[in-house]
Structure 1
Amino acid sequence: MTRCRAAIIAGLAAALVSAAPATAQQAGGDGTAEWITLGTGGGPVTNPSRSQPANLLRFGGQDYLVDVGDGTAMQIGKVGVQTRMIDAIFISHLHFDHTGGLAAILGLRFQTSGRDPLTIYGPPGTRDLVDGLFASMVPGATANYGVAGAPPADHRAGIEVVELRDGESATIGEMTVTARGNSHYSFPPESELAKRFQSLSYRFDIPGKSIVYTGDTGPSPAVEDLARGADLLVAEMMDIPLTITRMLAANPGLPDAQAKAMQSHLATHHLDARDVGEMAARAGVPAVVVTHFAGREAAEPEHLDYYRQAREAYDGVFMIADDLDVFRP
């Protein structure tokens, strides 16, 4: 950790604690909740220091994945969690940087004979995604360990998909999860694409605590409403001009129409530091954790500008997370 970032963390309010990951046996079994930022990179450009978007919510002895970007299986191993231990998965939307790790989770779960129930929650289209992954698993599941006469095993066993739309909720034990459609997609309201797809933000209400995860979104009154009264807001954030510059540099020769569409998407479907500060202030949340981060890193002087920009509107606890940070709201 850089000296600059250590100083920032040291100054945070005591309401939000960042610490080394607890072991699988210790975490979340005493009624407290932990939110672990497994992957904090803003896709789709790969980042050597940040894994793709993924989070682990631990509560009541259960383990819930919230988005499953590429590298999720490796990241949960670093905090002592095996794929068969995952009790539910929540997918915010179907962009590949948020779903690319699901194939590994399902495949390794099969290989380790995970048969406990696993429910995958997500927006419309999630069932098609999972069915496609099941189809891709058929050759490996059929060959299995390559032992003649071994009994066949169903790689789909115990897995259920539940699709959620704006305003719907699910109850899992003592936890209630509420979904709201956000502004990461801007299809015309009556179009077929708007009917087929939604990008969701989630609120996780557990006894005594509430955590809101924006997923990917632009400024959104619906997300602000969802976050009102929550204890922790986990928000995406990007340095949008810098990200546009990096995307164009990574894609030389990109056709003009595609370049304009990409720039429009980044400019209107994501949050910058001021947007996050304004959203948090209007929602009245006491603490914000930034993930899906694309911008200057802590070793660069400009990194502190994001804190200053957020502070123009928000005076609560504000932190840009790294991979494997742990938060106990």
Structure 2
Amino acid sequence: MTHALTLLGTKGGPAIRPGGPNPTSMLLTLSGRRMVIDCGLGVSRGLVETGMSLKELDLIFITHLHSDHVLELGPLIHTAWTTGLDHPVTVYGPPGTHAVWTGFLASLAYDIETRIADEGRPDLASLVTVTEYGPGIVLQDGDLEVEALRVDHPPVTDCFALKVSGSGKTVVFSADTAPFPPLADFAHHADILVHEAMLPEGLDSIVRRTGNGSRLREHLVASHSFAADAAGIAQEAGVGMLVLNHLIPADDPAFTEQHWRAAVTPIFAGEVVVGRDGLTISL
């Protein structure tokens, strides 16, 4: 099992549009484990298209409970179960994740009970353990370690950057956050920093297409980071690679990879990757 990061969904926000990317989800393969980071709409299909069998689902981490990060949590696990999943899956998420999972089970109770009785499937609820986490060490298993840092994503209080270390590699996921200087220390000398990013000149586009006018703009500016902010964190942290993800806007043809690179390369001296769905980065 090679060490790799695959971006499954790279747009910021829950809306999807024709020809555009999916909301946030990623697959990290490290230290012999497959870790799904966030479960936005499209994660199940995205995983299958990497060549992974959903029966191999192992660990899931949710950074926060905005829908573009958690909407397909239950459907992913259920789809894996209908594919033949028969071993335990552990979900690590912020406070409230257990309620999301139990609510999903309640909503699909008829289907789940029918398939257990009619198709001989194992009890789905008993296969899944949800562990709610806060700042600090989330998981230690052999040389694999996952640590969480609370970031600044108002009005969401329980939103966490994640640092995953194993096999001599470190990958940090910013989650959704306004510019947050402590993230530079958290990501110090990481091999990869996956950081959310906005283009200032793209805000008019996203507000115009989504609606909500000035209120949406206020949220975006208060709760998210511009690409230049992400570059500053990456430069201060001394990371090897900056991967721009959760892109806003991600589905406007007026903004290309060149716009993103122009925003970050004057600030960050390392390698820059502009996220796109299905992109795999070897570690």
Name the counterpart of 1:36. 6
**CA distances 1:109-159 after superposition (whole Å, capped 9, x unpaired):** 222341211110011111111111121221111222884xx6574221221
Q: Structure 1 residues 325, 179: closer, same or farther in 2, change over 3 A? A: same
Give 1:173 shift: 3.3
Give yes or no for the alignment of 1:242 onto 2:202.
yes
Counterpart Cα distance in 1 of 2:260 and 2:120: 56
Larger Rg: 1
**Stretch of structure 1 that moved more, 112-121 or 42-51:** 42-51
Which runs of 5 or more residues in structure 2 are unaligned? none
Name the counterpart of 1:176. 145
Q: Structure 1 residues 165, 98: closer, same or farther in 2, change over 3 A? A: same
2:127 maps to a residue whose letter is G
Q: Structure 1 residues 244, 130: closer, same or farther in 2, change over 3 A? A: farther
Give yes or no for the alignment of 1:283 onto 2:237.
yes
Is the 2:154–2:222 contact (alpha carbons within 8 Å) kept by the matching residues of 1? no
Counterpart Cα distance in 2 of 1:297 and 1:71: 15
Alignment size in residue pairs: 282
Give 1:208 shift: 1.2
Counterpart Cα distance in 2 of 1:301 and 1:265: 21
Name the counterpart of 1:304. 258
Give 1:217 shift: 0.9
Is the 1:53–1:97 contact (alpha carbons within 8 Å) kept by the matching residues of 2? yes
Is the 2:20–2:251 contact (alpha carbons within 8 Å) kept by the matching residues of 1? no
Q: How does 1:33-112 map to 2 (within 5 A)?
A: 33-47=3-17, 48-112=19-83
Give the percent of matched residue pairs that are identical in Structure 1 and Structure 2: 25
Could you say what secondary structure the match of 1:268 adopts?
Answer: helix
Counterpart Cα distance in 2 of 1:202 and 1:125: 18
Give 1:300 shift: 4.8
Give yes or no for the alignment of 1:225 onto 2:194.
no
Counterpart Cα distance in 2 of 1:145 and 1:151: 5
Name the counterpart of 1:156. 125
* TM-score of the pair, normalised by structure 2: 0.91
Counterpart Cα distance in 2 of 1:36 and 1:66: 10
Could you say what secondary structure the match of 1:290 adopts?
Answer: strand
1:266 maps to a residue whose letter is L
Could you say what secondary structure the match of 1:210 adopts?
Answer: strand
2:263 maps to a residue whose letter is Q
Could you say what secondary structure the match of 2:64 adopts?
Answer: coil
Give 1:328 shift: 1.7
Which runs of 5 or more residues in structure 1 are unaligned? 1-26, 188-196
**CA distances 1:78-124 after superposition (whole Å, capped 9, x unpaired):** 11112221110000110101111212212112223412111100111
Could you say what secondary structure the match of 1:144 adopts?
Answer: helix
Counterpart Cα distance in 2 of 1:261 and 1:69: 23
Q: Structure 1 residues 137, 304: closer, same or farther in 2, change over 3 A? A: same
Counterpart Cα distance in 1 of 2:236 and 2:246: 21
Could you say what secondary structure the match of 1:157 adopts?
Answer: helix
**CA distances 1:224-272 after superposition (whole Å, capped 9, x unpaired):** 2211121110111122452354234333xx4xxxx44422210021111
